[in-house]
Amino acid sequence: MFITNDIKYIGVNDHEVDLFEGQYVVPNGMAYNSYVIMDEKIAVMDTVDARFGEEWLAKLEKELDGRLPDYLVVQHMEPDHSANILNFANTYPEAKIVSSAKAFGMMKNFFGTDFADKQVVVGEGDTLSLGKHVLTFVTAPMVHWPEVIVTYDSADKVLFSADGFGKFGALDADEDWACEARRYYIGIVGKYGAQVQALLKKAAGLDIAVICPLHGPVLTENLGYYIGLYNTWSSYQPEEEGVLIAYTSVYGNTKKAVEELAEKLEKGGCAKVVVNDLARCDMAEAVEDAFRYSKLVLATTTYNADIFPFMREFINHLTERNYSNRTVAFVENGTWAPMAAKVMKAMLEKSKNITYTESGVKIMSALNDESRAQLDALAAELCR
């Protein structure tokens, strides 16, 4: 893959992974990106997942065309990128390893060695000259681990952005960028909005023509679009006007209420209505939708004097990612002592800038005239 005259792609596509990072379904696989910068000195940017060591080293060898690499730059120590560091060091024993002090500590934990004889420790603003290309390192703690650095090459105006601007999906998947980048961002980095904002501020001072992330496609055009989405996501602002109804239903009565509410919202002119059955959908997709839209309806049953487990899991995903700045409504169902709304509201207690609707819906087993009237009032309020 052509990136610039001197920068070559040597990453791999993974269509075998069952769950990325042990929890995310990736129907179109995953890409572990790696790059090589060919200059008077040669730098390799990160390695790839353990299962692709041979393929990666073969791609690297082809690009090297008989030369030897001088540096391996390790931007991030999560094993999807770091697993082949030892493999690389054994294959190219003369090459130095360039990384943050924290990353070398992690190498000791992962590999039993911190490569003391090969270390080049870099921090904020440090540079490494390859000849024409001078790399500047920028610390990016918690995007997505504490040791992360990103790297700017001023010669070709390339930002190597580590996990930032990554997405789910192999590079041969033909799919919308934003959909799988959003699910990836919210799921994996969503908790660290403040740190992403800090990185965006540093990046704003750089003249960037190309973004080379560790997952997903290399971004070469319309960079303002991608940076704008990252700004929206990391500042916890809704991306779109719309309502997500997230629900669980045991015997179908709560589901019926949700279906009627969705119909009323659509008839009432709500811009966009999305419905997710939390027991059956991809939980990461539902979490992504909650952060995407401006309004959220939580509908669930009372269960063990608490709420249905999938709803508890969902709300936990939201609160641990700093869910805020949204409108929230509750629909509760309970046959003898409904208390789901109270439990859900308590779970959101620490969430900032949540506006709760005045209308709520209480179903005592199945919809009746009273609860239907509450649905009407809620739909009217949400569409207002």
Residues that bind ligand FEO (CB under 6 A): 76, 78, 80-81, 144, 163, 214-215
- Torsion sign, CA atoms 384, 344, 363, 240: positive
Q: How many Cβ atoms sit within 10 Å of the Cβ of residue 115?
A: 19
Q: Give dist(CA 24, CA 26) in Å, integer.
A: 6
71 Cβ contact partners less than 8 Å away, ≥ 6 residues apart: 41, 42, 43, 44, 95, 96, 97, 98, 120, 128, 130
**Shortest distance, position 166 Cβ to ligand FEO, whole Å:** 6
Q: Give dist(CA 288, CA 32) in Å, integer.
A: 22
Cα atoms found within 13 Å of the Cα of residue 330, Cβ hemisphere only:
24
**Shortest distance, position 316 Cβ to ligand FEO, whole Å:** 21
**Shortest distance, position 167 Cβ to ligand FEO, whole Å:** 11
> Residue 328 has which token pair?
């929230």
**Shortest distance, position 329 Cβ to ligand FEO, whole Å:** 34
Q: Give dist(CA 62, CA 59) in Å, integer.
A: 5
- Torsion sign, CA atoms 42, 45, 46, 48: negative
Q: Please, which residue, 81 or 264, has the CB nearer to ligand FEO?
A: 81
Q: Please, which residue, 70 or 288, has the CB nearer to ligand FEO?
A: 288
**Shortest distance, position 164 Cβ to ligand FEO, whole Å:** 10
Q: Give dist(CA 128, CA 136) in Å, integer.
A: 7
Q: Please, which residue, 163 or 289, has the CB nearer to ligand FEO?
A: 163
**Shortest distance, position 313 Cβ to ligand FEO, whole Å:** 22
Q: Please, which residue, 31 or 42, has the CB nearer to ligand FEO?
A: 31
Q: Please, which residue, 196 or 307, has the CB nearer to ligand FEO?
A: 196
**Shortest distance, position 305 Cβ to ligand FEO, whole Å:** 38
Q: Do residues 188 and 321 touch, judged by C-beta distance below 8 A?
A: no
Q: Please, which residue, 70 or 80, has the CB nearer to ligand FEO?
A: 80
Helices (H), the chain: 53-64, 79-82, 85-91, 101-111, 177-184, 193-204, 223-234, 253-267, 283-292, 309-320, 340-347, 369-383
Q: Please, which residue, 81 or 326, has the CB nearer to ligand FEO?
A: 81
**Shortest distance, position 314 Cβ to ligand FEO, whole Å:** 23
Rg of the chain on CA atoms, in Å: 24
**Shortest distance, position 133 Cβ to ligand FEO, whole Å:** 24
Q: Please, which residue, 76 or 264, has the CB nearer to ligand FEO?
A: 76
Q: How many Cβ atoms sit within 10 Å of the Cβ of residue 90?
A: 9
**Helix 309-320 and helix 340-347: axis angle, to 10°?**
20
Indicate the residue whose CB is closest to ligand FEO: 78
Q: Please, which residue, 187 or 334, has the CB nearer to ligand FEO?
A: 187
